[in-house]
């Protein structure tokens, strides 16, 4: 009599195990759907700016040992700022724009020192608006901060083009 509660608990436990063993695993009537393909990664919004590809970037000096692929990604990330810098120029010259070809082209020589600060210089351009040139240079000097390097400098030349339409 003294062990009756223990026998009862063992019996309940055995009954639960028996009941669980008789439960059938649910099988779905509908076959599982195939996973959707991953969406294609789109380029970031660059507005009117046509950024140079990796083949268009010319390295003049790389004593800092910087990675060119990482620098090309850095350039694409900064393109939106140059898009907004050109807004006033395109608004002022709206009547003279041709829709077929890029309207504004600049060749920029960028020198990065070991601290990551840049000193840009326009080598050539087809833009005669000094305000636009100054705005592009100030945009690059102010917002383009590149990570530091151990020593040396990185001098690169790249073209940037602005389209007349998005």
Q: What is the pLDDT of residues 76-108, one digit of tens each?
A: 888 777 888 787 777 777 666 666 556 788 999
Distance, CA of 166 to chain centre: 19
Place of tokens 């900064």: 78
Higher pLDDT, 47 or 116: 116
Could you give the CA distance from residue 50 to residue 160 in angstroms, rounded to a whole number?
Answer: 6
Average pLDDT over residues 5-23: 90
Interior angle at CA 139, CA 135 and CA 144, nearest 5: 160
pLDDT computed for residue 28 by the predictor: 67
Residue 63, C-beta contacts closer than 8 angstroms, at least 6 positions apart: 151, 152, 153, 154
Half-sphere exposure of 105 (CA within 13 A, CB side): 8
How many helices (H) and strands (E) in the chain? 5, 5
The residues, any chain, with a CB within 8 Å of residue 147's CB and separated by 6 or more, are 116
- Whether residue 14 has pLDDT greater than 90: yes
| High-pLDDT (> 90) share of the chain, % | 16
Output the pLDDT for position 162: 84
Q: What is the pLDDT of residue 108?
A: 92
C-beta of residue 143 within 8 angstroms of C-beta of residue 110: no
């Amino acid at each position: 009599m003294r062990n009756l509660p223990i026998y009862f608990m063992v019996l309940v436990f055995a009954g639960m195990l028996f009941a669980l063993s008789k439960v059938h695993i649910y099988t779905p009537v509908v076959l599982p759907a195939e996973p959707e393909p991953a969406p294609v990664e789109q380029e970031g919004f660059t507005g009117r700016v046509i950024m140079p590809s990796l083949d268009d970037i010319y390295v003049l000096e790389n004593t800092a040992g910087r990675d060119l692929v990482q620098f090309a990604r850095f350039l694409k990330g900064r393109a939106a700022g140059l898009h907004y810098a050109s807004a006033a120029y395109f608004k002022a010259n709206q009547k003279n724009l041709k829709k077929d070809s890029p309207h504004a082209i600049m060749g920029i020589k960028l020198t990065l020192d070991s601290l990551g600060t840049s000193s840009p210089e326009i080598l050539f351009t087809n833009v005669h608006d000094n305000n636009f040139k100054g705005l592009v240079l100030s945009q690059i000097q102010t917002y383009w901060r590149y990570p530091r390097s151990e020593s040396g400098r990185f001098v690169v030349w790249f073209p940037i083009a602005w389209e007349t339409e998005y």
